């Protein structure tokens, strides 16, 4: 354990201090423990991929980073998650406030069906505290540009979001998450329900986002992790097995379990 942590910190440490530090984070549901004692740093302007077989706890870990985990009945979490040195699980911190600083995108597109494209992007802006509220029109355009969707939708911003294709809806969700200027962006298997062409577009988009925010992407697709991420963490049975720069991870994994997984021997 100790050596893994040391290696993890050493390998992933970029020039700037980490945006998010999970410290001995455990979480689960009722009697079930989904993740155990995870210690992992998420670097700024950097893409961290989390891979592992289904049920390894990678989604639970992700959802624990913005306190979405606790919205499920009987969920619990222990340990610390520091967002810019501030523990989001501290007593004086509000889960809703945490989620306003962290963007999240899910497996399936979750465009709000009763809202137009514009309203979807602005959905998070409209509830921001007054002093943080930005000029909406500008912010919507900016978010859509960052999500590489602007050119496709600029002439029909007031159409229903459901008029978009699945891939476009997913980029709309990314735009919605970016519009609130998140400190980090969490992507939970964002291409799981998309066709190959949409997947490629979203992957390219994710890659560009590394210039802007810290990104954590959970994926069951190793090729995807290899393509888009800078650092990769491998989870197995609720534990962090190994974390390393992506290239190292996929060429010289340190742990034999990692090697077994990435060469397709299980999972």
Q: Which residues bind another protein (CB under 8 A)?
A: 66, 68, 71, 73, 83-84, 86, 88, 92-94, 96-104, 106-114, 123-124, 127-129, 132, 142, 145-146, 148, 162, 166, 169, 173, 176-177, 180-181, 183, 204-205, 207-209, 211-212, 222-223, 226-228, 246-247, 250-251, 262
- Least CB distance to another protein at residue 127 (A): 6
Q: Which is nearer to another protein, 6 or 137 (CB)?
A: 137
Q: Which is nearer to another protein, 153 or 177 (CB)?
A: 177
Q: Which residue has the tokens 């969707």?
A: 149
Q: Is 5 exposed, middle or buried (0-12, 13-18, 19+ CB in 10 A)?
A: middle
Alpha-carbon gap, residue 265 to 189, rounded angstroms: 22
Q: Which is nearer to another protein, 46 or 146 (CB)?
A: 146
Q: Which is nearer to another protein, 156 or 252 (CB)?
A: 252
Q: Which is nearer to another protein, 32 or 127 (CB)?
A: 127
Q: Is 23 exposed, middle or buried (0-12, 13-18, 19+ CB in 10 A)?
A: middle
- Tokens found for residue 182: 């998140």
- Least CB distance to another protein at residue 39 (A): 20
- Least CB distance to another protein at residue 37 (A): 23
- Least CB distance to another protein at residue 1 (A): 27
Alpha-carbon gap, residue 228 to 159, rounded angstroms: 32
- Least CB distance to another protein at residue 74 (A): 12
The DSSP code for 133 is: P
In 106-208, beta strands by DSSP E? 184-188
- Least CB distance to another protein at residue 181 (A): 6
Alpha-carbon gap, residue 162 to 155, rounded angstroms: 15
Q: Which is nearer to another protein, 76 or 112 (CB)?
A: 112
Neighbours of 17 (CB within 10 A): 12
Q: Report whether 43 contacts 16 (CB < 8 A).
A: yes
Burial 103-116 (b: 16+ CB within 10 A, else e): bbbbbebbbeeebb
């Amino acid at each position: 354990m100790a050596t893994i942590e040391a290696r993890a910190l050493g390998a992933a440490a970029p020039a700037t201090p980490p945006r998010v530090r999970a410290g001995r984070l455990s979480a689960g549901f009722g009697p079930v423990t989904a993740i155990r004692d995870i210690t992992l740093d998420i670097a700024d302007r950097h893409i961290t991929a989390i891979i592992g077989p289904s049920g390894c706890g990678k989604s639970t870990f992700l959802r624990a980073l913005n306190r979405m985990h606790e919205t499920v009945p009987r969920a619990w979490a222990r340990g610390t998650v520091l967002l810019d040195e501030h523990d989001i699980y501290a007593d004086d911190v509000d889960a809703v406030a945490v989620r306003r600083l962290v963007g999240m995108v899910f497996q399936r597109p979750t465009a709000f069906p009763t809202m137009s494209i514009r309203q979807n992007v602005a959905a998070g802006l409209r509830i921001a505290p007054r002093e943080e509220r930005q000029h909406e029109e500008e912010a919507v355009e900016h978010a859509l540009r960052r999500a590489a969707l602007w050119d496709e939708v600029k002439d029909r911003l007031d159409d229903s979001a459901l008029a978009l294709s699945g891939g476009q809806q997913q980029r709309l969700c990314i735009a919605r998450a970016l519009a609130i200027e998140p400190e980090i962006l969490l992507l939970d298997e964002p291409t799981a329900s998309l066709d190959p062409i949409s997947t490629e577009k979203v992957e390219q988009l994710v890659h560009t986002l590394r210039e802007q925010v810290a990104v954590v992407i959970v994926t069951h697709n190793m090729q995807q992790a290899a393509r888009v991420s800078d650092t990769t963490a491998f989870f197995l049975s609720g534990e962090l097995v190994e974390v390393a720069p992506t290239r190292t991870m996929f060429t010289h994994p340190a742990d034999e379990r990692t090697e077994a997984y990435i060469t397709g021997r299980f999972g």
